[in-house]
Amino acid sequence: MKSKDMSRRKFLALSTGAIAGTIFCPNLAFLKAAEPQGMKYAILPEGKREVIASNCAMCVNKCGILCEVVNGKLHKINPNKKHIKSRGMLCAKGNAGAAVPYDPNRLKTPLLRTGKRGKGQWKEISWDEAYKYVAKNLSDLKEKYKNRSSVAFASTEGFQEEFFYYLVNSFGSLNTVRHPTLCLSSNIQGWSSVYGVFPDADLKNAEYVIMLGSDRAQALITPDSVDFQRYKPKGQKLIVLDPRFTATAAKADRWYPVKPRTDQGFVLAMMNVIISENLYDKEFVETYTHGFDELAEMVKEYTPEWAEGKCEIPADDIRQIAREFAFHAPRSVIYPGRRSSFYTHEVYVRQTFAILSAICGCWDVPGGIVPKSSINLNSHNVMFPFFMDAQDRVDKVATGLIKDVVPDAVQCPMVGTGLPTDSCAFLSEKDGSWISFREAVLQDNPYPVRGFVCFKQNPVQGVVNTQKTLKMLDKMEFICVIDTQMSDTAWYADIVLPHATYLERWDPAHSLSGIWPIISFRQPVIEPMFKSKSMFEIAGGIIREMLKIPSLWNDIDPADLESFNKNIVEDILDKPVQEFIKHQVSKHPGAWEELLKEGFFTTDGGKARYGSTRNSEYRFKTKTGKIELFNERYKDKGLYPLPKFCEPEYRPKENEYRFLVGRTAWNTHSSTQNNPYLWEIQKENTVWINVGEAAKLGIAGGDRVRVKSKIGEQTLRAYVTEKIRPDCVFYVNGWNRKSPMLSRVYGHGASESEILDDVIDSISGSVCMHETFVTLQKV
């Protein structure tokens, strides 16, 4: 190499030559001359400050936020003190949302894969090219397989999901798969089996609260977490059952480190006491319920002494808690909680909770369990075409699927436990069952699914058994991901479309049902950055391109197409989304203005709504129209109509520990760990190990430990503590992402998806995240 000094001298000496005379191609400049205003150029306003009301999207709660915007930049997010649902609270995640639009790693422009899938070779394309590409691939798959359901659509909850379903329904696939079977579908199913609906708990007015496995101090749900923090100290009594001493347990009057998988036994024994001692609400039971006699007969065998042998809680304590619960009723709550993706018999567990509430009359009254109310919105009455070439969803019509999903379970415990072995008994038509769906796709059972369009979901990280998810993606001929980040799933896509963040877009109005119902929406607090777009715009763009491909519409009535064009494309998608929202709230005078000003609106001054179902004429959404203590539909399906205790079917072998997973208050699943502000709170996860067990294994706090299941293994540091049962280990989810370039979390902590077995509850189709056993080894 030449001397650097000499080279540079030469360069400058030669600068009179070619370089100096270079003429660049015009039209390549990013910058242009500004037009002067008077004698000066326009100077940007200094310190222009606005406060814009909207709603958070850092998790599912949609808390009220006031965004302080200075010179077009989001400066800070503050809580909206008037907000009825979030009670003026904004958590760490909500505050850290201010960093979301300004993440330099956010998706910026449509990217098309140019190399092998998963190798990270992309090129930028325009939105027009992107829309054409997606529409053509959808059309090709429809033609090739003569089945619109050969393309699956995955999404997770959120206001823009409504527009994702405009795209889904315009294509006509019946294979949609959503998040509930990774979270709370068994909970919804269990409570709905009794009341016909999934209710809320009135923690604001309750006098006595039992929480089983719910950690409301960490896994935040509004208003419950706020009410729990605010009203518990004012005299509310709290009993917590959890294998871990959680932050919620720390606030409890009593904490029981219940043996995992036996909570149901505890509640059955409570019912035994309450019924045998005539402490139940006879009038309520007679007026509103169905099947009490059968229930009373069943619980006779579940004495507190029996339960003590199962769940390791003293029989006397169970008696006392049962009596206290009945004493405080109807202001007693056995808390429904949210995530229930724990065990294979979880629906029966939740059914048991619901029945306890019912026999004590803790229904639809202040301080009890209350059905959600909602504020009605105007519907747009959209009618999508009826497509002939669409087969029913794979996880519904596949044969023998459950055996393949949980082979170990089928061989022994499923028989005689009231759990279906052929297909999921109560599969949601829209949500599906993630694990069953994936298995059906892997098996081509009963037909091939070769397209995957994924909005705001990251199944590579979020669905247990990552390797199977990757195999499923390998089968796809077309993968499109719409997201704000290059997620692990996006990495495997053929095309990635950048979604605008929740702070940059209009979101449609949604009725947030609950004891204190409100209407919520989102408005942009800053301009969309880069070339990101909302799902409303993206759906419109793709659908318009789809309309240019005649073969995509050859299996519908031409009149349907005409109607589709007029009522959906022209009247909705071609107009500003604000028009859509205005129509939604038009039956409430002043609602639009209120939304813009406050970020939400309510009716009746936001008062709680109680008692709408407490009249003898009310018909519950159950088969009998009553609150069903004995479930007639379960009986029809061959399930247990009463929640018989399900013996633990999975037991740890020697040297094995039950693996538990959970959340912290400062992260949402796997989506926020790399946020710079939240990363400051926690830089890696650690595995909780009981002190005694750690000593046996020679593990000290801070040691690196290999956690190994039959699915995989992960390594992370140990947190040696008395706060967990000896037979369990625990870590929070969302760490050790697969990407070596994920600067903050790569190589830090451990991923749960890499070790969790894909066991499901075959009533609701929910995954069971606490049915995996692991061994520990110091490394």
Partner 1 sequence: MPVTAHACILVIEMLKAVSEDIERPQVNGHEPAGAILSTAGPNMSAAASVKNVLFFLSLVFRYPREAVYAELGRLLPVFEDFFDAYAGNVPVLPEMEELQAEYIRLFVNNRGSVAAVPYASCHLDGGILMGESYHRLRMIMSETGFVLDESTGELEDHLAILLEFASMLAGRLIDASVSRGVPLDEISDALGEVTFGFLRPMMKPILEGISGGTTTDFYAASVRALYNFMADAEVIYTQIFSVPVSAAIKTGVKK
SS3 at position 508: strand
The nearest distance, CB 108 to partner 1, in angstroms, is 6
- Under the binding rule (CB under 8 A), the answer on residue 29 touching partner 1 is yes
- When the beta carbons of 248 and 461 are compared against partner 1, the nearer one is 461
Of positions 65, 122, 375, 505, contacts partner 1 by CB under 8 A: 122
CA 445 vs. chain centroid, Å, equals: 27
- Which range of residues in 122-130, 501-509, 575-583, 706-714 is near partner 1 by CB under 8 A? 122-130
- When the beta carbons of 31 and 559 are compared against partner 1, the nearer one is 31
The nearest distance, CB 745 to partner 1, in angstroms, is 8
The nearest distance, CB 711 to partner 1, in angstroms, is 22
- Under the binding rule (CB under 8 A), the answer on residue 124 touching partner 1 is yes
- When the beta carbons of 1 and 559 are compared against partner 1, the nearer one is 1
Q: Phi and psi at residue 485, in whole multiples of 5°?
A: -125, 155
- When the beta carbons of 17 and 589 are compared against partner 1, the nearer one is 17
- Under the binding rule (CB under 8 A), the answer on residue 704 touching partner 1 is no
CA 457 vs. chain centroid, Å, equals: 9
Q: Which residues inside 475-494 make contact with partner 1, applying CB under 8 A?
A: 486, 488, 490-491
Binding string, residues 83-102; x marks residues near partner 1 by CB under 8 A? ----------------x-xx
- Under the binding rule (CB under 8 A), the answer on residue 41 touching partner 1 is yes
Residue in 142, 165, 175 with CA at minimum distance from that of residue 552: 142
- When the beta carbons of 11 and 327 are compared against partner 1, the nearer one is 11
Give the up-direction half-sphere exposure of residue 19: CA atoms within 13 A in the CB hemisphere.
7
SS3 at position 170: helix
- Under the binding rule (CB under 8 A), the answer on residue 49 touching partner 1 is no
- Under the binding rule (CB under 8 A), the answer on residue 50 touching partner 1 is no
Binding string, residues 208-247; x marks residues near partner 1 by CB under 8 A? ----------------------------------------
Structure tokens at 653: 């072998």
Site of tokens 């100290």: 233
Distance CA 47, CA 573 (A): 36
Binding string, residues 279-298; x marks residues near partner 1 by CB under 8 A? --------------------
Q: Which residues inside 517-576 make contact with partner 1, applying CB under 8 A?
A: 529-531
- When the beta carbons of 67 and 89 are compared against partner 1, the nearer one is 67
- When the beta carbons of 14 and 383 are compared against partner 1, the nearer one is 14
In this structure, the number of other CB atoms found within 10 A of the CB of residue 779 comes to 9
Residue in 457, 440, 346, 335 with CA at minimum distance from that of residue 395: 440
- Under the binding rule (CB under 8 A), the answer on residue 28 touching partner 1 is yes
- Under the binding rule (CB under 8 A), the answer on residue 121 touching partner 1 is yes
Distance CA 118, CA 493 (A): 7
The nearest distance, CB 29 to partner 1, in angstroms, is 6
The nearest distance, CB 504 to partner 1, in angstroms, is 12
- Is 331 within 8 Å of 368 (Cβ atoms)? yes
- Is 362 within 8 Å of 284 (Cβ atoms)? no
- Is 186 within 8 Å of 353 (Cβ atoms)? no
Distance CA 344, CA 765 (A): 9
Which amino acid, residue 270? M
The nearest distance, CB 137 to partner 1, in angstroms, is 20
- Which range of residues in 1-9, 129-137, 367-375, 407-415 is near partner 1 by CB under 8 A? 1-9
- Under the binding rule (CB under 8 A), the answer on residue 24 touching partner 1 is yes
- When the beta carbons of 173 and 469 are compared against partner 1, the nearer one is 469
The nearest distance, CB 67 to partner 1, in angstroms, is 14
- Is 428 within 8 Å of 422 (Cβ atoms)? no
- When the beta carbons of 447 and 491 are compared against partner 1, the nearer one is 491
DSSP-derived secondary structure letter, 266: H
- When the beta carbons of 136 and 744 are compared against partner 1, the nearer one is 744
Cis status, amide bond into 110, omega within 30 of 0: no
Of positions 114, 376, 399, 615, contacts partner 1 by CB under 8 A: 114
The nearest distance, CB 676 to partner 1, in angstroms, is 5
- When the beta carbons of 12 and 388 are compared against partner 1, the nearer one is 12
Structure tokens at 771: 């049915």
The nearest distance, CB 734 to partner 1, in angstroms, is 13
Of positions 71, 399, 578, 655, contacts partner 1 by CB under 8 A: 71
- Is 456 within 8 Å of 177 (Cβ atoms)? no
Of positions 77, 90, 111, 206, contacts partner 1 by CB under 8 A: 111
Distance CA 335, CA 368 (A): 9
Torsion of CA 281, 283, 284, 290, to 10 degrees: 110
Binding string, residues 429-468; x marks residues near partner 1 by CB under 8 A? ----------------------------------------
- When the beta carbons of 7 and 586 are compared against partner 1, the nearer one is 7
- When the beta carbons of 8 and 282 are compared against partner 1, the nearer one is 8
- When the beta carbons of 82 and 531 are compared against partner 1, the nearer one is 531
- Is 762 within 8 Å of 419 (Cβ atoms)? yes
- Under the binding rule (CB under 8 A), the answer on residue 779 touching partner 1 is no
Residue in 721, 658, 718 with CA at minimum distance from that of residue 691: 721
Structure tokens at 425: 């008994």
What's the order of all strands across the beta sheet hosting 254-256? Answer: 254-256, 237-241, 208-212, 332-334
Q: Which residues inside 651-680 make contact with partner 1, applying CB under 8 A?
A: 674, 676
Question: E strands, 261-350, where?
Answer: 289-290, 332-334
Distance CA 758, CA 438 (A): 10
Residue in 594, 517, 573 with CA at minimum distance from that of residue 62: 517
Beta carbons within 8 Å of 5's beta carbon, 6+ residues apart: none
Binding string, residues 716-745; x marks residues near partner 1 by CB under 8 A? ---------------------xxxxxxx--
Distances (CA, A) of 731 to 58, 330, 544, 688: 21, 36, 46, 6
- Under the binding rule (CB under 8 A), the answer on residue 128 touching partner 1 is no
Q: Phi and psi at residue 370, in whole multiples of 5°?
A: -130, 130
- Under the binding rule (CB under 8 A), the answer on residue 76 touching partner 1 is no
Of positions 258, 267, 496, 572, contacts partner 1 by CB under 8 A: 496
- When the beta carbons of 5 and 654 are compared against partner 1, the nearer one is 5
Q: Is the dihedral of CA 690, 696, 697, 701 positive or negative?
A: positive
The nearest distance, CB 184 to partner 1, in angstroms, is 29
Number of residues that bind partner 1 (CB under 8 A): 73
Of positions 49, 50, 81, 120, contacts partner 1 by CB under 8 A: 120
Of positions 69, 82, 88, 109, contacts partner 1 by CB under 8 A: 109
Structure tokens at 88: 């003026």
The nearest distance, CB 385 to partner 1, in angstroms, is 35
- Is 493 within 8 Å of 110 (Cβ atoms)? no
CA 365 vs. chain centroid, Å, equals: 29
Question: E strands, 291-334, where?
Answer: 332-334
Question: E strands, 313-417, where?
Answer: 332-334, 369-370
Give 730's strand partners.
660, 688
- Under the binding rule (CB under 8 A), the answer on residue 22 touching partner 1 is yes
- When the beta carbons of 741 and 779 are compared against partner 1, the nearer one is 741
The nearest distance, CB 451 to partner 1, in angstroms, is 22
